[in-house]
Amino acid sequence: MRIFVVDAFTDQPFRGNPAGVCLLEEAADERWMQLVAAEMRHSETAFVRPLESGGHELRWFTPAVEVRLCGHATLATAHVLFTEGIADPDESAEFHTKSGVLTVKSTARGLEMDFPAVPAARMEEPPGGLAAGLGVEPEWVACNAQNDVLAVVADAETVRDLEPDLALLGTIDARGVCVTAPAADADPEDFVSRFFAPAVGIEEDPVTGSAHCMLAPYWAKRLGRTSLTGRQVSAREGVVGVTLREDRVILSGRAVTLLRGDLLV
């Protein structure tokens, strides 16, 4: 079967967030998919197969666990289906996932994904070990239904300079910790972020589409605009466009195929 590596949320190779994309012809054993994801060692590997009823089933695995929602691997999967002639780029690709039906369409601005908004609610008591794990005291802390912690800090420089204690962050009862701040005045983006998820086998995710389903409602409310641009300032960096539409978020970005191959087992 065919397998790909795609750099998502970027128009340049070796930037953005790499994802594995495995094209299945029929349903696969869950244990086998987990082993493939562990072998690929990307933050997520997507497994996609056509459904008789139309559309595709899509599942995502980190090297350690299956996750319910993943933005960059969805973007990567749609990119593969469109560029390999498996799906018509003039029509939306429809994915049936554990987070419901997700659609992706190709536009002049790149790929646009229709995802559920997952706003975060303020926590009265931040998780123990959060400030020590980040090495900075957040100004505001919240958590969402995906069990992601949102930590807001003062400025973009603080986000870029973080050197977290990943072992300590891994003890927090959360899928991941997203740290965010306003972009610098000279930057074209509106906000910056980084995402750490050692508890699910990802020390730092380079660009996290699903986290922007939480970032979009926060920054839309704070900045008074529904269309924004975020830059995830990991070492690889990537740009994610977000548009908040009631309880949905339109995530937009580009992708580059880096590798095509055959999976032999």
Q: Write the pLDDT tens digit of every residue in 203-250.
A: 999 999 999 999 999 999 999 999 999 999 999 999 999 999 999 999
Kindly give the pairing relationship between strand 93-97 and strand 56-61: parallel
Give the residue among 85, 76, 65, 17 at the shortest CA–CA distance from 200. 65
- For residue 260, the model assigns a pLDDT of 97
For the stretch 18-49, pLDDT in tens is 999 999 999 999 999 999 999 999 999 999 99
| Most distant CA atoms of the chain, gap in Å | 51
Task: Please say whether the beta carbons of 150 and 218 come within 8 A.
Answer: yes
Q: Where do the domains of the chain lie, and which CATH numbers do they carry?
A: 2-114+253-262 (3.10.310.10), 121-245 (3.10.310.10)
The per-residue DSSP string of 138-153 comes to -SEEEE-TT-EEEEE-
For the stretch 52-77, pLDDT in tens is 999 999 999 999 999 999 999 999 99
- For residue 109, the model assigns a pLDDT of 82
- For residue 265, the model assigns a pLDDT of 87
Q: Which of 30, 44, 204, 237 is catalytic?
A: 44
For the stretch 126-148, pLDDT in tens is 999 999 999 999 999 999 999 99
Average pLDDT on 150-163 reads 98
Is 44 assigned a catalytic role? yes
